Amino acid sequence: MTAPAYDSNNIFAKILRGEIPCKKVYEDDHVLAFHDISPQAPSHILVLPKGEYVSMDDFTQKAAPGEIAALFRALGQIARDEGLHETGYRVISNCGLNGGQEVPHLHLHLLGGRKLGRMVQQAA
Ligand code: 5GP
């Protein structure tokens, strides 16, 4: 799979540039995290690299080791800050068509606050 070119008009690029507001929960040099606008669980946080990466496929090919480490360090820190480590949580990154990715800027969904059920819905 070849990642498509980065679209700098995607909604998360606008949030990263401060053109659209978000409910921020965390920020450092490499990472921004904010509440999902349509939460699927009591806690639903999106964790993004600030760099222009379309998807997990793009990120794992092009990102510097420091960016990769920062994303996962931030994810764990946010989960602890939110108290999710006590009861457990789920991390999802949808990639491309079959993954159901809607916004073409890599993001990790951090979900918790209730039992989340089956990991993958059965095909209809
Ligand atoms: P995807 O399907 O790409 O993995 O997930 C995109 C997520 O972005 C969805 O859960 C959706 O609710 C969220 N989202 C879409 N637009 C906005 C927005 O403008 N602000 C915030 N905070 N979340 C958004």
* pTM for this model (two decimals): 0.96
In a domain, 5, yes or no: no
In a domain, 36, yes or no: yes
d(CA 56, CA 1): 11
Q: Where are the alpha helices (DSSP H) in 22-108?
A: 56-62, 65-81, 84-87, 96-99
Q: Reply yes or no on whether 107 is catalytic.
A: yes
pLDDT confidence bin for 2, thresholds 50/70/90: low
In a domain, 52, yes or no: yes
| Structure confidence by residue, pLDDT tens digits, 51-100 | 999 999 999 999 999 999 999 999 999 999 999 999 999 999 999 999 99
Structure token pair of residue 40? 């699927």
Which atom, in ligand 1's list, is nearest to the CA of 100?
Answer: 2
Of residues 30, 35, 107, 109, which has the active-site annotation? 107
How far is the centre of ligand 1, averaged over its atoms, from the C-alpha of 103 (Å)? 7
How far is the centre of ligand 1, averaged over its atoms, from the C-alpha of 83 (Å)? 22
Least Cα distance to 14 among 56, 64, 52 occurs for 52
Q: Where are the beta strands (DSSP E) in the chain?
A: 24-27, 31-35, 43-49, 89-92, 108-112
Domain ranges, residue 78: 29-112
Count of domains for the chain: 1
Question: Residue 102 sits in a domain of what CATH number?
Answer: 3.30.428.10
In a domain, 22, yes or no: no
In a domain, 16, yes or no: no
In a domain, 62, yes or no: yes
DSSP for residue 88: -
